[in-house]
Structure 1
Amino acid sequence: MTNIQEKIEKELEQARETCDTSGATSGECAAAWDAVEELQAEASHQRKGNNEDKNSLEQYCDDNPDAAECRIYDD
């Protein structure tokens, strides 16, 4: 996780420099901040984890794969 945090800090620095150089309303500035936002979204996704994406039945089936509710039938 620290690796993505380091990337975020690096992109933050670069975005600030880009906006100082080319102006706050430039396309380069907007693109730099988009890169920061994408990294922050990825970090948030990694923190969330896969288990929270599952509904209660999916979590139950992960814990009890042999339960009748969790059987999968092929046609």
Structure 2
Amino acid sequence: MTTTLDTIQAAVNSGAKTIEEAILEATVEARKTCEIGGDNSADCAVAWDIVEELQAEKAHQKQAKQRKTALESYCDRHPEAVECLIYDV
């Protein structure tokens, strides 16, 4: 198996590819690995674990983007409030 989780994550973190591209690449690699080594091989299990980890990271990133603090929610409703004013110094 030529693709490892560390290699894929490094490419995603450097901005070379998106998480979706990494998931697609890992899925193709997992299918090839399972075809070569068999569905019950350790390499096949590792390859699918990599796909699963990437999908979990994508879900985590999506959830982190959606979370707002109480102050952010308040400022969305009351942008003129003193607490919400932003000054450039």
Question: For this structure pair, what is the TM-score category when the shorter chain's length is used for normalisation?
Answer: 0.5 to 0.7
The separation in 1 between residues aligned to 2:58 and 2:50, in whole angstroms, is 13
Aligned partner of 1:19 in structure 2 is 34
Higher helix proportion (structure 1 or 2): 1
CA shift digits 1:23-60 (9 cap, x unpaired): 000000000000000000000000111563x7xxxx33
3-state SS of 2:39 partner: coil
Please report the TM-score for the alignment, with normalisation by the length of structure 1: 0.67
Matched, 1:6 2:16: no
The separation in 1 between residues aligned to 2:52 and 2:39, in whole angstroms, is 16
**Count of aligned pairs between the two proteins:** 61
Of 48, 62, 83 in structure 2, the residue corresponding to residue 33 of structure 1 is 48
RMSD: 2.5
Residue ranges of structure 1 left out of the alignment (5+ in a row) = 65-75
The separation in 2 between residues aligned to 1:29 and 1:49, in whole angstroms, is 30
- Paired-residue identity, %: 41
The separation in 1 between residues aligned to 2:66 and 2:24, in whole angstroms, is 28
Residue ranges of structure 2 left out of the alignment (5+ in a row) = 1-16, 76-89
